[in-house]
Amino acid sequence: MQKVLRVRGLRVRYAGGDWVLKGLDFELGKGEVVLIVGESGSGKTTFVRAITGLAGRVYNAVVEGYIEISGKPLAEWGWEEVRDKIGVVLQNPRATLVYPIVYDDLISHAYSIYGSADSAERALSNITKLLRISHLLNKHVDQLSGGELRRVSIAKALLSNPEVIVLDEPLMWLDDKGMEEVRKTIEILKLHEISVVVLEHRYRSLVEVADRVLRLEGGVLAPIESPLEVGGGFTTLKQAATAQEERDPVLEVRNVEVKLGELVLKDISLRISRGEKVVIYGGNGSGKTTLLRVITGVIKPAKGVVKRRGGILYIPQIPYLYFTETSLVDELKLAGLPDAGKASTGKTRFDLDRSPFSLSWGEALEFIVEMALESRSELVLMDEPFSGLSYTSRKTLGGRLLASPKAVVVTASNRENLEFLAGFKLLELKEGRLVEKGLLGDLR
């Protein structure tokens, strides 16, 4: 098989840091789809930056080793040539868009590649037909769903007719529908013999479409036969047998309606007892975040009553948005845990004088969750807590939440995440209405 990308002994380290990649070897054949899995912070994004030349050029990282694209060393390609050879879809695909209307952005990029309006139009037309996104061209980027946004970004990456497409965590934030759209898009790329590298935490749905699966661990890549870390089956609903005990309510929502232009939440009623665990499941845009904001009191419902007993702690989708203090110890003080640092010195793995913004995504979430479960708040709200976490970390988090005496409400936009919430009461939010589905059972 013709090799389009060859990497030998790749070592990368950022200024003042340790080596992130430690002698990594990698080869990608023409038309091959390779899935790279790895924990948060294992160096997946650094690998992307290295093979695109961004690591040295943008991040001033030290890059050692040999990288070859289409039979020629990376160093011998011009910067713009590398851009045309490797198309990258970033973790946050929205960042790649310069203009807000999909057509404006794609045609401008196509014109910058081909230099003539006719060629640009032709290239754009071919790509949009290939990925079946012609209907999205006149849309504003804010109107796109997560899956549509990923497909538009893949189209942009394909416009230069690259040898390789790299997808950095393409399933992040996506609901079931979005995940399926991305999986189908990768199948289309494979069918057209476009080489693809996918780096992803949530890889289960992609295992079947990949020709090879590699794990990035300890700064090197190794092949794995069975990538599924935990479970691998489906969640079951287990009725009543282990039903959560009825206790004093910490939250009562009665017949709530919310209008944000149109009716977003319709006749929502919800009662959460002390220590109860609830997951609100629904697709992107179904109103999950709005419901959490109604519970916090930030959004006033047009109709209905919300009664809260005790404090509420809200953990946003992006954990860094939680931090307002300069050190972890100050965050603990603000949460009413002034002695937590002293008491838990032996238990916590965090240096409490550290700035919260220096934590990794996983660490930040872990710290906030531990703090929330120790705090005086009766109810902890978590908006999509599993994004950015590996399956192992999700399982740990799910178990930790279940074991806590606090009442916990989490939101989830895909069924895959329900697997890590065994013991939680499942409520589905669909078309503005909340339907109780029962208690989530054990893994099968």
Binding site for another protein (CB under 8 A): 52, 54, 57-58, 80, 83, 88, 90-92, 94-101, 103-104, 107-109, 111-112, 117, 120, 138, 140-142, 156, 260-262, 293, 296-298, 311-314, 316-318, 320-325, 334-335, 357
CB of 389 to another protein, least distance (A): 18
Residue 236 · residue 444 · CB < 8 Å: yes
Helices (H), 159-270: 176-191
Sheet holding 249-260, edge to edge: 262-273, 249-260, 303-308
Residue 15 · residue 61 · CB < 8 Å: yes
CB of 199 to another protein, least distance (A): 15
**Please, which residue, 8 or 57, has the CB nearer to another protein?**
57
CB of 261 to another protein, least distance (A): 5
CB of 324 to another protein, least distance (A): 4
Q: What is the DSSP string of 411-429?
A: EESSHHHHTT-TTSEEEEE
Residue 439 · residue 242 · CB < 8 Å: yes
**Please, which residue, 142 or 208, has the CB nearer to another protein?**
142
Reported as half-sphere exposure (CB side, CA atoms, 13 A), residue 435 has a value of 9
**Please, which residue, 70 or 91, has the CB nearer to another protein?**
91
**Please, which residue, 223 or 297, has the CB nearer to another protein?**
297
Residue 39 · residue 390 · CB < 8 Å: yes
The dihedrals phi and psi of 142, each to the nearest 5 degrees, come to -70, -15
**Please, which residue, 263 or 402, has the CB nearer to another protein?**
263
CB of 107 to another protein, least distance (A): 5
Length of the chain: 444
- Tell how strand 433-443 and strand 235-238 pair up: antiparallel
Cα 226 to Cα 207: distance, rounded to the nearest angstrom: 9
CB of 69 to another protein, least distance (A): 14
Amino acid identity for residue 11 in this structure: R
225-232 long-range contacts (CB < 8 A, ≥24 apart) are: 227/35, 227/37, 227/203, 228/204, 228/391, 229/390, 229/391, 229/392, 230/391, 230/392, 230/395, 230/443, 231/419, 231/443, 231/444, 232/204
CB of 4 to another protein, least distance (A): 18
Residue that the structure tokens 């390779």 belong to: 34
**Please, which residue, 120 or 340, has the CB nearer to another protein?**
120
Crossing angle of helices 102-114 and 117-131, in 10° steps, is 130
Coil, strand or helix: which one is 396? Answer: helix
Exposed, middle or buried, 3 (CB in 10 Å: 0-12/13-18/19+)?
middle
Residue 131 · residue 185 · CB < 8 Å: yes
Cα 296 to Cα 228: distance, rounded to the nearest angstrom: 37
Give the residue from 135, 157, 129, 160 showing the smallest Cα distance to 148: 135
**Please, which residue, 209 or 315, has the CB nearer to another protein?**
315
CB of 104 to another protein, least distance (A): 5
**Please, which residue, 151 or 204, has the CB nearer to another protein?**
151
CB of 357 to another protein, least distance (A): 5
Residue 399 · residue 426 · CB < 8 Å: no
Cα 303 to Cα 319: distance, rounded to the nearest angstrom: 31
**Please, which residue, 98 or 230, has the CB nearer to another protein?**
98
**Please, which residue, 239 or 326, has the CB nearer to another protein?**
326
CB of 395 to another protein, least distance (A): 26
**Please, which residue, 160 or 393, has the CB nearer to another protein?**
160
Radius of gyration of the chain (CA): 24
CB of 88 to another protein, least distance (A): 5
Cα 436 to Cα 141: distance, rounded to the nearest angstrom: 34
